[in-house]
Chains A and B, each alone.
Chain A
Amino acid sequence: MIAEKEMTNAVETIGLNLWYGTFQALTDVNIQVKKGIITSLIGPSGCGKSTLLRSINRINERLGYVRVEGAIKVLDENIYARDVEPVQLRKQVGMVFQRPNPLPLSIRENILFGHKIHTPSSLKVSRSEANDIVEKALRQVLLWDKVKDRLKHRAISLSLEEQQKLCIARLLPVKPQVLLMDEPCSALDPKGTEAVEELIWDLRGQFTILIVTHNMAQARRASDECAFMLLGELIEHETTEEIFVTPRHRKTADYIEGRFG
Protein backbone atom coordinates (compact mmCIF):
# COMPACT_ATOMS: atom_id res chain seq x y z
CA MET A 1 0.00 0.00 0.00
CA ILE A 2 2.64 2.46 1.10
CA ALA A 3 4.82 1.67 -1.85
CA GLU A 4 1.92 2.31 -4.16
CA LYS A 5 1.19 5.63 -2.54
CA GLU A 6 4.81 6.61 -3.03
CA MET A 7 4.41 5.90 -6.66
CA THR A 8 1.49 8.18 -7.22
CA ASN A 9 1.97 11.64 -5.75
CA ALA A 10 5.05 13.78 -6.14
CA VAL A 11 3.48 16.77 -4.42
CA GLU A 12 0.56 16.82 -2.07
CA THR A 13 -0.83 19.68 -0.02
CA ILE A 14 -3.05 19.00 2.96
CA GLY A 15 -5.28 21.77 4.24
CA LEU A 16 -2.84 24.41 3.06
CA ASN A 17 -3.58 27.96 4.20
CA LEU A 18 -1.24 30.83 3.52
CA TRP A 19 -1.34 34.44 4.64
CA TYR A 20 0.65 37.45 3.45
CA GLY A 21 0.38 39.49 6.62
CA THR A 22 -3.35 39.50 7.23
CA PHE A 23 -4.31 38.73 3.64
CA GLN A 24 -5.19 35.08 3.08
CA ALA A 25 -3.86 34.05 -0.33
CA LEU A 26 -4.50 30.29 -0.09
CA THR A 27 -7.51 28.73 1.61
CA ASP A 28 -7.62 25.05 2.49
CA VAL A 29 -5.87 23.85 -0.65
CA ASN A 30 -5.72 20.08 -1.06
CA ILE A 31 -4.02 19.14 -4.27
CA GLN A 32 -2.32 15.95 -5.36
CA VAL A 33 0.17 16.29 -8.15
CA LYS A 34 0.84 12.89 -9.65
CA LYS A 35 4.30 11.71 -10.32
CA GLY A 36 5.75 11.79 -13.81
CA ILE A 37 2.96 13.64 -15.55
CA ILE A 38 2.24 17.23 -16.45
CA THR A 39 -0.32 19.02 -14.33
CA SER A 40 -1.43 22.45 -15.42
CA LEU A 41 -2.67 25.05 -12.98
CA ILE A 42 -5.14 27.58 -14.31
CA GLY A 43 -7.17 30.39 -12.84
CA PRO A 44 -7.60 34.14 -13.08
CA SER A 45 -4.77 36.48 -12.20
CA GLY A 46 -4.29 36.87 -8.44
CA CYS A 47 -5.98 33.60 -7.48
CA GLY A 48 -2.82 32.26 -5.82
CA LYS A 49 -1.20 30.06 -8.46
CA SER A 50 2.25 31.56 -8.02
CA THR A 51 1.81 31.54 -4.28
CA LEU A 52 1.07 27.81 -4.35
CA LEU A 53 4.14 27.16 -6.48
CA ARG A 54 6.37 29.27 -4.22
CA SER A 55 5.13 27.33 -1.21
CA ILE A 56 6.18 24.03 -2.72
CA ASN A 57 9.87 24.99 -2.72
CA ARG A 58 9.47 27.08 0.45
CA ILE A 59 10.86 30.19 -1.23
CA ASN A 60 7.99 32.25 0.17
CA GLU A 61 9.60 32.04 3.58
CA ARG A 62 12.16 34.68 2.84
CA LEU A 63 9.32 37.20 3.16
CA GLY A 64 9.11 37.73 6.88
CA TYR A 65 5.36 38.28 6.84
CA VAL A 66 4.25 34.97 5.33
CA ARG A 67 2.44 32.48 7.56
CA VAL A 68 1.59 28.93 6.54
CA GLU A 69 -0.77 26.37 8.04
CA GLY A 70 -1.32 22.82 6.93
CA ALA A 71 1.16 20.49 5.31
CA ILE A 72 2.92 20.04 2.01
CA LYS A 73 4.40 16.70 1.11
CA VAL A 74 7.02 16.47 -1.57
CA LEU A 75 7.97 12.90 -2.49
CA ASP A 76 6.02 11.83 0.57
CA GLU A 77 8.00 13.92 3.03
CA ASN A 78 6.48 16.79 4.92
CA ILE A 79 8.58 19.77 3.84
CA TYR A 80 7.67 21.74 6.94
CA ALA A 81 9.11 19.08 9.23
CA ARG A 82 11.77 20.43 11.53
CA ASP A 83 14.71 18.56 10.02
CA VAL A 84 14.02 19.64 6.43
CA GLU A 85 16.80 21.69 4.86
CA PRO A 86 15.31 24.10 2.30
CA VAL A 87 18.47 23.87 0.22
CA GLN A 88 17.94 20.12 -0.24
CA LEU A 89 14.28 20.70 -1.03
CA ARG A 90 15.13 23.26 -3.72
CA LYS A 91 17.55 20.83 -5.24
CA GLN A 92 14.68 18.39 -5.76
CA VAL A 93 12.15 21.02 -6.78
CA GLY A 94 13.28 23.31 -9.59
CA MET A 95 11.51 26.55 -10.51
CA VAL A 96 11.12 28.20 -13.91
CA PHE A 97 9.90 31.77 -14.06
CA GLN A 98 7.68 33.84 -16.28
CA ARG A 99 10.52 36.01 -17.52
CA PRO A 100 13.60 34.02 -18.46
CA ASN A 101 16.18 34.97 -15.85
CA PRO A 102 19.54 33.54 -16.86
CA LEU A 103 22.34 34.59 -14.53
CA PRO A 104 24.83 37.22 -15.71
CA LEU A 105 27.32 34.49 -16.60
CA SER A 106 28.23 32.52 -19.69
CA ILE A 107 25.92 29.84 -21.05
CA ARG A 108 28.26 27.21 -19.68
CA GLU A 109 28.50 28.79 -16.23
CA ASN A 110 24.73 29.08 -16.06
CA ILE A 111 24.41 25.32 -16.47
CA LEU A 112 27.15 24.64 -13.94
CA PHE A 113 25.92 27.11 -11.34
CA GLY A 114 23.39 24.85 -9.64
CA HIS A 115 25.77 21.95 -9.71
CA LYS A 116 28.53 24.04 -8.14
CA ILE A 117 26.50 25.37 -5.25
CA HIS A 118 25.45 21.85 -4.33
CA THR A 119 28.98 20.44 -4.54
CA PRO A 120 31.46 20.98 -1.73
CA SER A 121 34.25 23.23 -2.97
CA SER A 122 36.82 20.65 -1.87
CA LEU A 123 35.37 18.30 -4.48
CA LYS A 124 36.88 19.71 -7.64
CA VAL A 125 34.80 19.08 -10.73
CA SER A 126 37.13 18.11 -13.53
CA ARG A 127 36.91 19.90 -16.85
CA SER A 128 35.74 16.88 -18.78
CA GLU A 129 33.14 16.13 -16.13
CA ALA A 130 31.91 19.70 -16.36
CA ASN A 131 31.79 19.46 -20.14
CA ASP A 132 29.67 16.34 -19.88
CA ILE A 133 27.27 18.01 -17.48
CA VAL A 134 26.87 21.00 -19.78
CA GLU A 135 26.38 18.90 -22.88
CA LYS A 136 23.88 16.56 -21.26
CA ALA A 137 21.75 19.35 -19.84
CA LEU A 138 21.74 21.30 -23.08
CA ARG A 139 20.88 18.19 -25.07
CA GLN A 140 17.98 17.52 -22.74
CA VAL A 141 16.48 20.91 -23.61
CA LEU A 142 17.25 20.54 -27.32
CA LEU A 143 19.66 23.46 -27.26
CA TRP A 144 23.01 21.74 -27.65
CA ASP A 145 23.35 21.93 -31.42
CA LYS A 146 22.43 25.59 -31.44
CA VAL A 147 24.82 26.80 -28.75
CA LYS A 148 27.64 24.26 -28.61
CA ASP A 149 29.99 26.67 -30.42
CA ARG A 150 29.31 29.61 -28.13
CA LEU A 151 29.21 28.19 -24.65
CA LYS A 152 31.44 31.01 -23.45
CA HIS A 153 29.03 33.68 -24.67
CA ARG A 154 26.84 35.50 -22.24
CA ALA A 155 23.52 33.81 -21.64
CA ILE A 156 21.79 37.11 -22.22
CA SER A 157 22.90 37.03 -25.86
CA LEU A 158 20.47 34.17 -26.53
CA SER A 159 16.94 34.73 -27.78
CA LEU A 160 14.20 34.72 -25.15
CA GLU A 161 13.11 31.26 -26.18
CA GLU A 162 16.65 29.95 -25.86
CA GLN A 163 17.08 31.74 -22.54
CA GLN A 164 14.00 30.03 -21.18
CA LYS A 165 15.28 26.66 -22.34
CA LEU A 166 18.58 27.46 -20.66
CA CYS A 167 16.72 28.28 -17.45
CA ILE A 168 15.17 24.82 -17.61
CA ALA A 169 18.49 23.22 -18.49
CA ARG A 170 20.34 24.75 -15.54
CA LEU A 171 18.01 22.93 -13.15
CA LEU A 172 18.75 19.50 -14.57
CA PRO A 173 22.37 18.78 -13.49
CA VAL A 174 21.31 18.42 -9.84
CA LYS A 175 18.66 15.88 -10.90
CA PRO A 176 15.47 17.41 -9.58
CA GLN A 177 12.31 15.33 -9.41
CA VAL A 178 9.78 18.11 -9.63
CA LEU A 179 9.77 21.09 -11.97
CA LEU A 180 7.56 24.04 -11.11
CA MET A 181 6.92 26.40 -14.01
CA ASP A 182 5.22 29.74 -13.52
CA GLU A 183 3.81 30.80 -16.89
CA PRO A 184 7.04 29.83 -18.63
CA CYS A 185 5.85 30.86 -22.08
CA SER A 186 4.06 34.10 -21.40
CA ALA A 187 7.05 36.30 -22.22
CA LEU A 188 7.71 34.47 -25.50
CA ASP A 189 6.40 35.01 -29.02
CA PRO A 190 4.15 32.33 -30.53
CA LYS A 191 7.04 30.45 -32.11
CA GLY A 192 9.03 30.49 -28.89
CA THR A 193 5.95 29.40 -26.98
CA GLU A 194 5.50 26.46 -29.28
CA ALA A 195 9.14 25.45 -28.98
CA VAL A 196 9.21 25.61 -25.19
CA GLU A 197 5.88 23.83 -24.98
CA GLU A 198 7.28 21.05 -27.12
CA LEU A 199 10.28 20.84 -24.86
CA ILE A 200 8.11 20.57 -21.76
CA TRP A 201 6.15 17.79 -23.41
CA ASP A 202 9.45 16.16 -24.25
CA LEU A 203 10.48 16.21 -20.57
CA ARG A 204 7.23 14.51 -19.60
CA GLY A 205 7.88 11.25 -17.79
CA GLN A 206 11.36 12.21 -16.62
CA PHE A 207 10.06 14.82 -14.19
CA THR A 208 6.90 15.70 -12.41
CA ILE A 209 5.84 19.00 -13.92
CA LEU A 210 3.45 21.50 -12.41
CA ILE A 211 2.89 24.35 -14.82
CA VAL A 212 0.91 27.54 -14.35
CA THR A 213 -0.54 28.85 -17.56
CA HIS A 214 -2.86 31.56 -18.77
CA ASN A 215 -3.17 29.94 -22.11
CA MET A 216 -6.17 27.62 -22.22
CA ALA A 217 -5.10 26.06 -25.48
CA GLN A 218 -1.71 25.29 -23.98
CA ALA A 219 -3.22 23.73 -20.87
CA ARG A 220 -5.49 21.63 -23.00
CA ARG A 221 -2.83 20.56 -25.48
CA ALA A 222 0.04 19.96 -23.18
CA SER A 223 -1.08 18.62 -19.83
CA ASP A 224 -2.39 15.36 -18.46
CA GLU A 225 -4.26 16.82 -15.55
CA CYS A 226 -5.55 20.28 -14.91
CA ALA A 227 -6.39 22.13 -11.71
CA PHE A 228 -8.52 25.24 -11.55
CA MET A 229 -8.05 27.79 -8.78
CA LEU A 230 -10.18 30.75 -7.83
CA LEU A 231 -9.63 33.30 -5.05
CA GLY A 232 -7.10 31.15 -3.24
CA GLU A 233 -9.13 27.96 -3.39
CA LEU A 234 -8.72 24.86 -5.46
CA ILE A 235 -12.05 24.50 -7.24
CA GLU A 236 -11.55 21.48 -9.42
CA HIS A 237 -8.78 19.05 -10.33
CA GLU A 238 -9.39 16.40 -12.97
CA THR A 239 -7.82 14.99 -16.07
CA THR A 240 -7.39 17.76 -18.58
CA GLU A 241 -9.92 16.20 -20.87
CA GLU A 242 -12.59 16.13 -18.18
CA ILE A 243 -11.93 19.70 -17.11
CA PHE A 244 -12.27 20.98 -20.64
CA VAL A 245 -15.05 18.73 -21.87
CA THR A 246 -17.19 18.14 -18.82
CA PRO A 247 -16.25 20.55 -16.05
CA ARG A 248 -18.21 19.90 -12.88
CA HIS A 249 -18.25 23.39 -11.58
CA ARG A 250 -20.03 26.26 -13.15
CA LYS A 251 -17.10 28.58 -12.41
CA THR A 252 -14.62 26.29 -14.10
CA ALA A 253 -16.76 26.23 -17.21
CA ASP A 254 -17.12 30.00 -17.12
CA TYR A 255 -13.40 30.51 -16.81
CA ILE A 256 -12.46 28.06 -19.52
CA GLU A 257 -14.91 29.58 -21.91
CA GLY A 258 -13.43 32.97 -21.22
CA ARG A 259 -16.41 34.47 -19.44
CA PHE A 260 -14.12 36.00 -16.82
CA GLY A 261 -10.45 36.27 -15.88
Chain B
Amino acid sequence: MFEASELNIRNRKIESLFRILFLLMAGLLILPVAIILAILTYKGSSVISMNFLFTSPTEGMTAGGIFPALIGTIWLVSVALLFSVPLGVAAAIYLSEYARDNWFTRIINLAIINLAGVPSIVHALFGVGAFVLFFRFGTCILAASLTLGIMTLPVVIVSTWNALQAVPMAFREACWNMGATKWQTIRKIVLPNSISGILTGIILMVSQTAGETAPIMFTGAAFFLPQLPQSVFDQTMAMSLHLFVLATQVPGVPEDVPYGVAFVLIALVLVMNSLSIAFRVYLRGRKKW
Protein backbone atom coordinates (compact mmCIF):
# COMPACT_ATOMS: atom_id res chain seq x y z
CA MET B 1 0.00 0.00 0.00
CA PHE B 2 2.80 2.37 0.83
CA GLU B 3 5.41 1.15 -1.69
CA ALA B 4 7.12 3.73 -3.85
CA SER B 5 5.50 4.17 -7.21
CA GLU B 6 7.36 4.67 -10.45
CA LEU B 7 6.80 8.40 -10.12
CA ASN B 8 8.12 8.45 -6.55
CA ILE B 9 11.32 6.74 -7.63
CA ARG B 10 11.82 9.14 -10.49
CA ASN B 11 11.21 12.15 -8.25
CA ARG B 12 13.60 10.77 -5.71
CA LYS B 13 16.33 10.54 -8.35
CA ILE B 14 15.72 14.08 -9.50
CA GLU B 15 15.72 15.18 -5.91
CA SER B 16 19.14 13.72 -5.18
CA LEU B 17 20.49 15.01 -8.49
CA PHE B 18 19.63 18.58 -7.60
CA ARG B 19 20.82 18.17 -4.06
CA ILE B 20 24.23 17.08 -5.29
CA LEU B 21 24.30 19.82 -7.89
CA PHE B 22 23.63 22.55 -5.35
CA LEU B 23 26.04 21.02 -2.87
CA LEU B 24 28.76 21.05 -5.54
CA MET B 25 28.09 24.67 -6.37
CA ALA B 26 28.26 25.66 -2.73
CA GLY B 27 31.36 23.52 -2.23
CA LEU B 28 33.08 25.17 -5.19
CA LEU B 29 33.12 28.38 -3.17
CA ILE B 30 35.73 26.89 -0.90
CA LEU B 31 38.02 26.23 -3.83
CA PRO B 32 39.21 29.75 -4.72
CA VAL B 33 39.69 30.64 -1.07
CA ALA B 34 41.67 27.49 -0.43
CA ILE B 35 43.80 27.92 -3.54
CA ILE B 36 44.56 31.55 -2.82
CA LEU B 37 45.53 30.81 0.75
CA ALA B 38 47.60 27.80 -0.30
CA ILE B 39 49.58 29.68 -2.94
CA LEU B 40 50.14 32.66 -0.69
CA THR B 41 51.33 30.46 2.12
CA TYR B 42 53.48 28.33 -0.14
CA LYS B 43 55.18 31.18 -1.96
CA GLY B 44 54.89 33.94 0.59
CA SER B 45 55.78 32.37 3.90
CA SER B 46 59.42 31.92 2.96
CA VAL B 47 60.01 35.67 2.86
CA ILE B 48 58.21 36.40 6.12
CA SER B 49 60.58 37.24 8.90
CA MET B 50 60.92 39.76 11.70
CA ASN B 51 63.17 41.69 9.38
CA PHE B 52 60.59 41.66 6.60
CA LEU B 53 57.82 42.88 8.91
CA PHE B 54 59.71 45.51 10.82
CA THR B 55 62.14 47.25 8.44
CA SER B 56 61.78 49.62 5.55
CA PRO B 57 62.27 48.60 1.94
CA THR B 58 65.77 49.18 0.62
CA GLU B 59 67.67 49.09 -2.65
CA GLY B 60 64.90 50.44 -4.84
CA MET B 61 62.37 48.30 -2.99
CA THR B 62 63.96 45.07 -4.17
CA ALA B 63 65.11 44.23 -0.67
CA GLY B 64 64.28 45.08 2.93
CA GLY B 65 60.86 44.94 4.57
CA ILE B 66 57.39 46.38 4.49
CA PHE B 67 57.10 48.11 7.84
CA PRO B 68 56.00 51.56 6.55
CA ALA B 69 53.32 49.98 4.36
CA LEU B 70 52.02 47.87 7.24
CA ILE B 71 51.79 50.86 9.55
CA GLY B 72 50.33 52.96 6.74
CA THR B 73 47.49 50.53 6.14
CA ILE B 74 46.69 50.49 9.84
CA TRP B 75 46.59 54.30 9.80
CA LEU B 76 44.39 54.43 6.72
CA VAL B 77 41.93 51.86 8.02
CA SER B 78 41.75 53.37 11.50
CA VAL B 79 41.09 56.90 10.31
CA ALA B 80 38.52 55.65 7.79
CA LEU B 81 36.80 53.75 10.64
CA LEU B 82 36.78 56.84 12.84
CA PHE B 83 34.96 58.65 10.07
CA SER B 84 32.56 56.12 8.63
CA VAL B 85 31.49 54.19 11.73
CA PRO B 86 30.00 57.10 13.70
CA LEU B 87 28.51 58.63 10.57
CA GLY B 88 27.18 55.37 9.18
CA VAL B 89 25.76 54.13 12.47
CA ALA B 90 24.11 57.48 13.15
CA ALA B 91 22.57 57.56 9.68
CA ALA B 92 21.31 54.00 10.08
CA ILE B 93 19.79 54.80 13.47
CA TYR B 94 18.00 57.75 11.94
CA LEU B 95 16.68 55.71 9.04
CA SER B 96 15.64 52.76 11.17
CA GLU B 97 14.32 54.46 14.30
CA TYR B 98 13.26 58.00 13.46
CA ALA B 99 12.56 58.39 9.74
CA ARG B 100 9.03 58.30 8.48
CA ASP B 101 8.36 57.17 4.96
CA ASN B 102 8.47 60.48 3.10
CA TRP B 103 10.33 61.99 0.17
CA PHE B 104 13.32 62.95 2.30
CA THR B 105 13.80 59.39 3.54
CA ARG B 106 13.41 58.06 0.04
CA ILE B 107 16.09 60.41 -1.26
CA ILE B 108 18.48 59.29 1.47
CA ASN B 109 17.85 55.65 0.61
CA LEU B 110 18.40 56.37 -3.05
CA ALA B 111 21.67 58.13 -2.25
CA ILE B 112 22.89 55.13 -0.28
CA ILE B 113 22.05 52.69 -3.06
CA ASN B 114 23.82 54.87 -5.60
CA LEU B 115 26.83 55.38 -3.36
CA ALA B 116 27.17 51.62 -3.09
CA GLY B 117 27.20 51.33 -6.87
CA VAL B 118 29.94 53.88 -7.57
CA PRO B 119 33.17 52.20 -8.79
CA SER B 120 36.16 52.72 -6.55
CA ILE B 121 38.15 54.58 -9.18
CA VAL B 122 35.37 57.16 -9.34
CA HIS B 123 35.58 57.51 -5.58
CA ALA B 124 39.29 58.12 -6.06
CA LEU B 125 38.63 60.97 -8.47
CA PHE B 126 36.03 62.39 -6.10
CA GLY B 127 38.55 62.17 -3.28
CA VAL B 128 41.12 64.09 -5.28
CA GLY B 129 38.61 66.77 -6.23
CA ALA B 130 37.03 67.14 -2.82
CA PHE B 131 39.65 66.40 -0.18
CA VAL B 132 42.99 66.90 -1.89
CA LEU B 133 42.10 69.99 -3.90
CA PHE B 134 38.94 71.68 -2.64
CA PHE B 135 39.57 71.25 1.09
CA ARG B 136 43.31 71.60 0.46
CA PHE B 137 44.29 68.63 2.59
CA GLY B 138 46.80 67.70 -0.12
CA THR B 139 47.64 64.07 -0.69
CA CYS B 140 47.69 62.65 2.81
CA ILE B 141 46.24 60.01 5.10
CA LEU B 142 43.25 62.21 5.93
CA ALA B 143 42.24 62.64 2.29
CA ALA B 144 42.76 58.95 1.53
CA SER B 145 40.91 57.77 4.62
CA LEU B 146 37.96 60.09 4.01
CA THR B 147 37.75 58.72 0.48
CA LEU B 148 37.82 55.17 1.81
CA GLY B 149 35.32 56.09 4.48
CA ILE B 150 32.82 57.49 2.03
CA MET B 151 33.24 54.46 -0.17
CA THR B 152 32.45 52.09 2.68
CA LEU B 153 29.62 54.13 4.21
CA PRO B 154 26.90 52.16 2.40
CA VAL B 155 28.21 48.90 3.86
CA VAL B 156 28.11 50.31 7.36
CA ILE B 157 24.70 51.92 6.94
CA VAL B 158 22.97 48.96 5.34
CA SER B 159 24.37 46.38 7.74
CA THR B 160 23.63 48.56 10.77
CA TRP B 161 20.11 49.16 9.49
CA ASN B 162 19.58 45.43 9.10
CA ALA B 163 20.88 44.79 12.60
CA LEU B 164 18.55 47.43 14.07
CA GLN B 165 15.56 46.10 12.16
CA ALA B 166 16.23 42.63 13.54
CA VAL B 167 15.31 43.86 17.03
CA PRO B 168 11.63 42.95 17.47
CA MET B 169 9.17 45.83 17.22
CA ALA B 170 7.41 44.60 20.36
CA PHE B 171 10.36 45.75 22.48
CA ARG B 172 10.09 49.27 21.15
CA GLU B 173 6.32 49.29 21.64
CA ALA B 174 6.78 48.19 25.22
CA CYS B 175 9.23 51.01 25.88
CA TRP B 176 7.25 53.76 24.15
CA ASN B 177 4.07 52.76 25.93
CA MET B 178 5.86 53.11 29.25
CA GLY B 179 6.78 56.65 28.31
CA ALA B 180 10.34 56.03 27.15
CA THR B 181 11.59 58.45 24.51
CA LYS B 182 12.95 57.17 21.24
CA TRP B 183 16.50 57.79 22.41
CA GLN B 184 15.98 56.00 25.75
CA THR B 185 14.56 53.06 23.82
CA ILE B 186 17.48 53.03 21.41
CA ARG B 187 20.12 53.31 24.09
CA LYS B 188 18.71 50.83 26.56
CA ILE B 189 17.10 48.23 24.32
CA VAL B 190 17.73 48.57 20.60
CA LEU B 191 21.49 49.17 20.52
CA PRO B 192 22.47 46.60 23.16
CA ASN B 193 20.52 44.01 21.22
CA SER B 194 21.88 44.84 17.79
CA ILE B 195 25.51 45.56 18.56
CA SER B 196 26.77 42.21 17.30
CA GLY B 197 25.04 42.74 13.97
CA ILE B 198 26.45 46.24 13.74
CA LEU B 199 29.94 44.89 14.33
CA THR B 200 29.48 42.50 11.42
CA GLY B 201 29.13 45.49 9.13
CA ILE B 202 32.24 47.04 10.56
CA ILE B 203 34.18 43.82 10.01
CA LEU B 204 33.12 43.84 6.38
CA MET B 205 34.20 47.42 6.12
CA VAL B 206 37.63 46.75 7.62
CA SER B 207 38.30 43.97 5.14
CA GLN B 208 37.19 46.05 2.21
CA THR B 209 39.15 49.11 3.32
CA ALA B 210 42.43 47.35 3.95
CA GLY B 211 42.57 45.92 0.46
CA GLU B 212 41.47 48.92 -1.60
CA THR B 213 44.06 50.44 -3.90
CA ALA B 214 42.42 52.80 -6.34
CA PRO B 215 40.87 55.23 -3.83
CA ILE B 216 44.14 55.81 -1.99
CA MET B 217 46.45 55.87 -4.96
CA PHE B 218 45.86 59.53 -5.86
CA THR B 219 44.71 60.77 -2.49
CA GLY B 220 47.34 59.83 0.05
CA ALA B 221 49.31 56.67 -0.60
CA ALA B 222 52.91 56.96 -1.78
CA PHE B 223 54.92 54.52 -3.87
CA PHE B 224 57.96 54.74 -1.70
CA LEU B 225 58.31 56.57 1.61
CA PRO B 226 60.65 54.88 4.00
CA GLN B 227 59.79 57.02 7.05
CA LEU B 228 56.61 56.44 9.02
CA PRO B 229 53.73 58.95 8.92
CA GLN B 230 53.65 61.30 11.91
CA SER B 231 50.12 62.67 11.51
CA VAL B 232 47.07 62.38 9.28
CA PHE B 233 48.49 65.16 7.12
CA ASP B 234 51.41 63.00 6.00
CA GLN B 235 51.52 60.74 3.02
CA THR B 236 52.05 57.09 3.69
CA MET B 237 52.83 53.78 2.05
CA ALA B 238 50.09 51.15 2.10
CA MET B 239 50.11 47.39 1.74
CA SER B 240 47.74 47.23 -1.20
CA LEU B 241 49.54 49.85 -3.24
CA HIS B 242 52.93 48.42 -2.27
CA LEU B 243 51.82 45.04 -3.61
CA PHE B 244 50.67 46.61 -6.85
CA VAL B 245 53.93 48.52 -7.23
CA LEU B 246 56.15 45.53 -6.48
CA ALA B 247 54.23 43.32 -8.85
CA THR B 248 54.07 45.68 -11.80
CA GLN B 249 56.31 48.73 -11.48
CA VAL B 250 59.65 47.72 -10.02
CA PRO B 251 62.12 45.57 -11.94
CA GLY B 252 64.28 43.07 -10.12
CA VAL B 253 62.00 42.22 -7.21
CA PRO B 254 62.49 38.60 -6.15
CA GLU B 255 59.45 36.59 -7.22
CA ASP B 256 58.41 35.57 -3.72
CA VAL B 257 58.30 39.07 -2.21
CA PRO B 258 54.92 40.20 -3.64
CA TYR B 259 53.43 36.95 -2.34
CA GLY B 260 54.87 37.74 1.05
CA VAL B 261 53.24 41.17 0.99
CA ALA B 262 49.90 39.66 -0.02
CA PHE B 263 50.24 37.08 2.72
CA VAL B 264 50.76 39.77 5.34
CA LEU B 265 47.86 41.83 3.98
CA ILE B 266 45.49 38.89 4.20
CA ALA B 267 46.81 37.95 7.62
CA LEU B 268 46.25 41.52 8.78
CA VAL B 269 42.63 41.44 7.61
CA LEU B 270 42.09 38.02 9.17
CA VAL B 271 43.49 39.17 12.49
CA MET B 272 41.27 42.25 12.53
CA ASN B 273 38.26 40.13 11.58
CA SER B 274 38.96 37.52 14.22
CA LEU B 275 39.20 40.18 16.88
CA SER B 276 35.82 41.59 15.93
CA ILE B 277 34.32 38.11 15.64
CA ALA B 278 35.59 37.24 19.10
CA PHE B 279 34.05 40.42 20.43
CA ARG B 280 30.78 39.58 18.69
CA VAL B 281 30.69 36.09 20.12
CA TYR B 282 31.29 37.58 23.55
CA LEU B 283 28.41 40.02 23.10
CA ARG B 284 26.10 37.40 21.65
CA GLY B 285 26.67 35.29 24.73
CA ARG B 286 25.10 38.09 26.69
CA LYS B 287 22.11 38.49 24.38
CA LYS B 288 18.98 38.36 26.44
CA TRP B 289 16.19 37.15 24.24
Contacts and interface: CB of A to CB of B under 8 A. Distances in A.
A89 B179 CA distance: 8
A95 B173 CA distance: 10
A103 B179 contact: no
Interface in B184-222: 184, 188-189, 193
B120 to A, nearest CB: 38
A113 interface: yes
Given A64-B100, A104-B193, A114 B288 contact: no
Interface residues on chain B, size class: 20 to 34
Interface in A42-99: 57, 59, 62, 64, 86-91, 94-95, 97, 99
Contact of A104 (B100, B176, B178, B288): B288
Contacts, number: 67
B288 A105 contact: yes
A49 B173 CA distance: 17
Interface in A103-135: 103-106, 113-114, 117-118
A103 B177 contact: no
A188 interface: no
B98 to A, nearest CB: 10
Contacts of A143: none
A90 B185 CA distance: 14
Contact of A94 (B178, B181, B193): B178
A-B interface, 4 closest residue pairs, ranked by CB to CB distance from nearest: A90-B179, A104-B289, A104-B288, A101-B170
30 contacts: A57-B177, A59-B176, A59-B177, A87-B179, A89-B179, A94-B177, A94-B178, A95-B177, A97-B170, A99-B170, A101-B171, A101-B173, A102-B174, A103-B175, A103-B189, A104-B171, A104-B189, A104-B287, A104-B288, A104-B289, A106-B288, A113-B175, A113-B180, A114-B179, A117-B179, A117-B181, A117-B184, A154-B288, A156-B288, A170-B178
